[in-house]
Amino acid sequence: MTEEVSVPESHPRYESLLTRHRIEAGVERGITSKQGLIAEGRGEAFDYLLGEETTDSADRAARAAAAYLLSAEHAVVSVNGNAAALVPEELVELADVTGAELEVNLFNRSRERIEAIADYLREHGAEGVKGLDADARIPGLDHERAKVDSDGIYDADVVLVPLEDGDRAEALGEMGKTELVVDLNPLSRSPQVATVPIVDNIIRAIPTITDHARELAGDPAAQQAAIETFDADAALADAKRRIREVEA
């Protein structure tokens, strides 16, 4: 089970404290990088400005993402140290419902951390976690984070990349992949280059995508409609407007 914190659910900052605790525990377990703590702080600031809720616009993005995952030839969910620490069970559930594979793919890559994350996902019910072979490279990236599995992200037509760094997001896009990005910062390059930017906290976004996937499963017409009616520019503009209009 995911380690939990002893904060009552009635606490006004329950979700935020739980999130911090999971990230901290992730660092202690060797799953999350120390930079992951900084990334979480940045994300929290945007979440605060966005009202710490899934906006209607983010919900539509999650629906489009679910439709892309279900209609993909080969969908892969990329998992980094923050995603694994925050939503291990939820990622496994999303993979089960959509038929996507899970692949560990890190910005600060180390064999130990990849294995720790794969083990953690397996503890939460995952089977066949990818990312350990790393026998292919994303073209145009000269860093360790370019390493992917040839029968995983390299081969995928649809990739869900939560909390991605901008360079890799761009390089995956250049490979012609449909990219679904979860990122609380609408100004960040990764949501800007995504086919579907989901501007929401990963804690809420992954279960929301799974809920939509359950509803859209077996209905190709509804999947197609969710994809065709989704407007990425409008989704980013909605998130930016929400931040500008925030009131104390």
Interface residue with ligand PTJ, options 3, 35, 135, 215 (CB under 6 A) = 35
Interface residue with ligand PTJ, options 24, 165, 170, 231 (CB under 6 A) = 165
State the nearest-atom distance from the C-beta of 107 to ligand PTJ, in Å.
3
The backbone torsions φ and ψ at residue 110, rounded to the nearest 5 degrees and listed phi first, read -145, 145
**Does 68 help bind ligand PTJ (rule: CB under 6 A)?**
no
CB 51 within 8 A of CB 242: yes
Pairwise CA distance, residues 194 & 78, whole Å: 14
Exposure string for 50-63, b = 16+ CB within 10 A, e = fewer = beeebbebbbbbbb
Interface residue with ligand PTJ, options 22, 26, 39, 103 (CB under 6 A) = 39
Which residue of this chain has its Cβ atom nearest to ligand PTJ in the complex?
Answer: 43
**Does 107 help bind ligand PTJ (rule: CB under 6 A)?**
yes
**Does 16 help bind ligand PTJ (rule: CB under 6 A)?**
no
Exposure string for 198-211, b = 16+ CB within 10 A, e = fewer = bbbbbbbbbbbbbb
Point out which span in 91-99, 123-131, 181-189, 226-234 binds ligand PTJ (CB under 6 A). 181-189
Q: Which amino acid is at 45?
A: A
**Does 184 help bind ligand PTJ (rule: CB under 6 A)?**
yes
In this structure, the number of other CB atoms found within 10 A of the CB of residue 34 comes to: 9
Q: Rule CB under 6 A: which residues touch ligand PTJ?
A: 33, 35-36, 39-40, 42-43, 46, 80-82, 86, 106-108, 163, 165, 182-185, 188, 201-202
